[in-house]
């Protein structure tokens, strides 16, 4: 019987510096960036609030349409998975690094832009980088939808559904 496992990362934080974008020999864009997440807790002994920042190495493949938006201080939401890779350094020592391979990226705001209860209006969302993306999709919606024409039937019955 096969065992099940999960390798999923969800992070919400700020970029520590502008993304570094390079291209593979095949022309595929890959961006590397660091993401800072914060945790705040109250010390039980002193009663003081403590802050802790954790840094995450992130890799985003096929990033040609996103790299210009990945600037220092930008607030982003990412989903991805952990990947550990190894290489031999110049002295022949085996080196390892673990990074978050980004599957989904949502820009939440610009440099220093605050996020007010989730996604602000006009924020750009980028789906999984597996397919071509020509421009960011906006998540803002029209203020009011137009009313349906009056000559359309108002009730839908089970007979109207094709499946």
Q: What is the pLDDT of residues 18-51, one digit of tens each?
A: 999 999 999 999 999 999 999 998 989 999 999 9
Phi and psi of 153, rounded to 5°? Answer: -65, 140
Question: What phi-psi label fits residue 118: left (phi over 0), alpha (psi between -120 and 50 degrees) or beta?
Answer: left
pTM for this entry: 0.61
Task: Say if residues 59 and 20 touch (Cβ distance below 8 Å).
Answer: no
- Rounded Cα distance, 107 and 111, in Å: 11
- Containing H/E element for 99? strand 94-109
**The CATH number fitting domain 9-37+50-140, selected from 3.30.420.40, 2.40.50.140, 2.60.15.10, 2.70.150.10:** 2.40.50.140
When pLDDT is averaged across residues 62-72 and rounded to a whole number, the result is: 87
Rg of the chain over all Cα atoms, to the nearest angstrom: 22
- Rounded Cα distance, 119 and 144, in Å: 19
Neighbours of 123 (CB within 10 A): 21
- Rounded Cα distance, 39 and 50, in Å: 8
Give the pairing type, strands 29-42 and 137-138.
Answer: unpaired
| Residue 94 pLDDT | 92
Token pair belonging to 45: 């002994």
Q: How large a percentage of the chain has pLDDT more than 90?
A: 53
Q: pLDDT of 116-138, one tens digit each? A: 333 333 334 433 343 333 344 44
């Amino acid at each position: 019987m096969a065992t099940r496992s999960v390798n999923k990362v969800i992070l919400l934080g700020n970029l520590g510096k502008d993304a570094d974008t390079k291209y593979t020999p095949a022309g595929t864009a890959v961006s590397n960036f660091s993401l800072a997440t914060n945790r705040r807790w109250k010390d039980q002994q002193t009663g003081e609030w403590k802050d802790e920042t954790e840094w995450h190495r992130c890799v985003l493949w096929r990033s040609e349409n996103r790299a210009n938006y990945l600037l220092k201080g930008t607030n982003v939401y990412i989903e991805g998975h952990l990947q550990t890779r190894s290489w031999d350094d110049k002295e022949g020592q085996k080196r390892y690094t673990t990074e978050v391979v980004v599957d989904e990226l949502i820009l939440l705001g610009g440099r220093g832009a605050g996020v007010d209860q989730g996604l602000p209006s006009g924020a750009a969302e980028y789906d999984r980088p597996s397919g071509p993306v020509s421009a960011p999709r906006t998540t803002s919606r029209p203020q009011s939808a137009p009313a349906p024409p009056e000559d359309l039937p108002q009730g839908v019955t089970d007979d109207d559904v094709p499946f």
